[in-house]
Structure 1
Amino acid sequence: MSVNISSPAPAPTRPLRLKRLELDDPQDDTEALKCKRPRLSLPPSSPGLAPCLRPLSHSPDSDQHCVSCIGPYVLLEPTEGTETYRAFHRVTEQEYICKVFSMRRYQEFTAPYVRLLPHDNICRIAEVITGEQSVFVFFQRNYGDMHSYVRTCKRLQEEEAVLLFRQMAVAVTHCHKHGVVLRDLKLRKFVFVDQQRTKLVLQNLEDSCLLHGDDDSLTDKHGCPAYVGPEILNSHHSYSGKAADVWSLGVVLYTMLVGRYPFQDVEPAALFSKIRRGTFTVPESLSVRAKSLVCCMLRKAPLERLEASELLLHPWLNCSNNTTPPNMHLNPRNCTDQVVPNYTEDTKDTGCF
């Protein structure tokens, strides 16, 4: 549910009540104390604000932007559409990301987090505050996503790519081990949680599917065009959700190392045709081990791909001598029509299903 913080609306007639949901397994004493903080008693919301939101102050340009608060957090400008906001804690002054959901969507959103055990490479919910109609979920801030990072760097050297991709593979392995198929897996799903850009976490699990038992067969066709596997395009029946995730990871690794997608075209039909054929080129600039791992994931037949846990055993992820041959660097500017697109190009409606 979108949160409208500008359109006038009647003020609620009954007092506002907030309810904080305590998280399981607090990581330290500080977090434990935070969860036990007394509830805040806030005055009724001002007209035009959704429940649990009220303005902190008014300024001459308040019509353009309204700073609001929810519990101990200050909500700033939206970061992605109208349901995600920058936020900071008024006591600790730490910055967070706040996602706003309706009650129904909140239950769907949190289901994968309930299923998964805490993991260093999967984002955690810092705090949840519920209002009468909306739920406000707070996450640790991040320092940019992998898509933007690869686009800025053009491509990554193998030494750096090993350190980052290993964290991606570990996160996906953890999800698969606990019966969570990610489906819409792509570079943008991974974000940095440190300023040095060395630690990655899987940002959200909103598009994931929970499995019941060992069968990972899926029938719905869901994903981003550049990352979708050929079996999803070809099959009118079920397909392996875990194998489809591994294909998407193959696209992720290829793009990190080469600076462009293995399959790309401005026309969705042409793009899907290339993916169905499963034919792509691997630059000679990559090491033998890197080529091997990419090809082990981008195999057309799902049964021939490595599983997520097997990726971690591959020599490229377990060898410190992964170097790119000298004078063999790929210049992505020679392939301007194939470079990683910016955010608006990547999110156009070109056949996501």
Structure 2
Amino acid sequence: MNVQRTSPVSFLRNGRYKRIESDEPVSKCPRLSDSSGDAGYLSSLPGSPLWAAPFNGTPTHQGPSRIGQFLLIPIADRDGVYSALNVHTGDESLCKVFDMIQYQEKIRAHSVLPAHRNISHIKDIILGERKAYVFLEKDYGDMHMFVKSCKKLDEELASRLFYQVVSAVAHCHQAGIVLGDLKLRKFVFSNKKRTHLKLEGLEECHMLEEGNDSMSHKHGCPAYVSPEILNSSGSYSGKQADVWSLGVMLYTLLVGRYPFHDSDPSALFSKIRRGQFCLPDTLSPKAKCLIRSLLRKEPWERLSATEILIHPWFHSAQETGSGEQEASAADQTVPTFCLDDDESLFC
């Protein structure tokens, strides 16, 4: 097979960029013991021959598939995302599969966004005829599932995790990027102790022109949508809408349920438009202050992402504990917001 190698793209920091000729469907993955010595190998040496078992990126079967030296296993509840195992080195990573006509636009924000410790970066890209395989760092589960497995987080742990979330959002805003579909699922743990978070991708973000964050896009998770998006038929501030979503995330971390919850979409949106929510007495005054500063009906009254980072709640909450806490799975219960009335509303 003739395989064309291309030059590394500028935003692949310490990564590789490869091209394969075909990515037709395969019915199953061959047993590794049946593979020849160079089967599935994509050499990193310039000019080396490359080979890849065909793969279309959207298999109808749920078993593993093969692309180059990577074994791809679908991840439940994450469409187009696979756990990738390098069969030669044993290294694990994450693979996102995009149509070729879309992939450059999907990863374009990585080319302008400076590196940040709380944002995942692209390690490798393999291009087929119809699909692009984008490899990122392995993760250890997302925040949605973590909160779903816990009733709620204590303020010390919540402050450590939420600070990392806001740091990533502030970094994007400063670079002229609005995330637009902010939610707990967007943040994943990058270590086994589940103390370090990263924004797992920038596919749904919006790159601003000349600093103007006026937007009219209405896509997003219903549970996180801001009142002005529901009320306005025109434009709204993308950054301020992101801050509202941060408020929903913080409330959920500390209370164990969404601030606005209803299985009926119309009722849910009515509650969001009113902007009225209850704060438990168990929360500290500074935690209540921060939540109220984010979940304000009027967008211009909300803190900016940068201002959130200097809120005194972070300092006071972390004074109650020392060091990084490892999240325990023991005695964890499903929170009330995870009732199966309509999971699609609460993504």
Smaller-chain TM-score bracket: 0.7 to 0.9
Q: Is the 8 A contact 2:94 2:138 kept in 1?
A: yes
Q: Look up the match of 1:215.
A: 212
Choose which of 287, 298, 307 in structure 1 pairs with 2:304. 307
| CA distance 1:277–1:157, shift in 2 (3 Å) | same
Q: Percent identity?
A: 44
Q: Look up the match of 1:56.
A: none
Q: Look up the match of 1:132.
A: 129
| Distance apart, 1:223 and its partner CA | 1.1
| CA distance 1:295–1:111, shift in 2 (3 Å) | same
Q: Look up the match of 1:17.
A: 3
1:74-223 mapped onto 2 (5 Å cutoff): 74-80=71-77, 83-223=80-220
| Distance apart, 1:39 and its partner CA | 5.9
| Distance apart, 1:111 and its partner CA | 1.1
SS of residue matched to 1:173: helix
Describe the superposition over 1:128-165 as per-residue Cα deviations: whole angstroms up to 9, x where unpaired: 01112211101111111111111111100001001000
Matched to 1:41, the amino acid is: P
| CA distance 1:136–1:340, shift in 2 (3 Å) | same
1:50-61 mapped onto 2 (5 Å cutoff): 50=56
Choose which of 289, 292, 296 in structure 1 pairs with 2:293. 296
Displaced runs of 4 or more, over 6 A: 25-28
Q: Is the 8 A contact 1:126 1:139 kept in 2?
A: yes
| CA distance 1:25–1:274, shift in 2 (3 Å) | closer
Give 5+ residue unaligned stretches, structure 1.
1-14, 54-62, 324-331
| CA distance 1:64–1:280, shift in 2 (3 Å) | closer
Instruction: Give the TM-score normalised by the residue count of structure 2.
Output: 0.81
Matched, 1:70 2:56: no
Matched, 1:241 2:247: no
Matched to 1:99, the amino acid is: K
- Could you tell me how far apart the structure 2 residues matched to 1:137 and 1:31 are? 10
Q: Look up the match of 1:41.
A: 49
| Distance apart, 1:26 and its partner CA | 7.1
- Could you tell me how far apart the structure 1 residues matched to 2:2 and 2:80 are? 21
SS of residue matched to 1:300: coil
Superposed CA RMSD in Å reads: 3.0
- Could you tell me how far apart the structure 1 residues matched to 2:127 and 2:56 are? 12
Matched to 1:50, the amino acid is: N
Q: Is the 8 A contact 1:22 1:127 kept in 2?
A: no
Matched to 2:263, the amino acid is: V
| CA distance 1:157–1:99, shift in 2 (3 Å) | same
SS of residue matched to 2:188: strand
Choose which of 336, 339, 352 in structure 1 pairs with 2:337. 339
- Could you tell me how far apart the structure 1 residues matched to 2:2 and 2:16 are? 25
SS of residue matched to 1:347: helix
| CA distance 1:318–1:299, shift in 2 (3 Å) | same
- Could you tell me how far apart the structure 2 residues matched to 1:39 and 1:69 are? 22
Tell which deviates more after alignment, 176-185 or 109-118.
109-118
Q: Is the 8 A contact 1:289 1:316 kept in 2?
A: yes
Describe the superposition over 1:176-197 as per-residue Cα deviations: whole angstroms up to 9, x where unpaired: 0001100110011110010000
| Distance apart, 1:96 and its partner CA | 1.1
- Could you tell me how far apart the structure 2 residues matched to 1:131 and 1:74 are? 16
| Distance apart, 1:66 and its partner CA | 5.5
1:218-297 mapped onto 2 (5 Å cutoff): 218-297=215-294
Q: Is the 8 A contact 1:17 1:132 kept in 2?
A: no
Q: Is the 8 A contact 1:247 1:297 kept in 2?
A: yes
| Distance apart, 1:258 and its partner CA | 0.1
| Distance apart, 1:82 and its partner CA | 5.7
- Could you tell me how far apart the structure 2 residues matched to 1:36 and 1:171 are? 32
Matched to 2:273, the amino acid is: R
- Could you tell me how far apart the structure 1 residues matched to 2:276 and 2:52 are? 60
Q: Is the 8 A contact 2:80 2:98 kept in 1?
A: yes
SS of residue matched to 1:175: helix
Matched to 1:22, the amino acid is: P
Q: Look up the match of 1:11.
A: none
Q: Is the 8 A contact 1:86 1:95 kept in 2?
A: yes
Matched to 2:56, the amino acid is: A
| CA distance 1:209–1:25, shift in 2 (3 Å) | closer
| CA distance 1:258–1:35, shift in 2 (3 Å) | farther
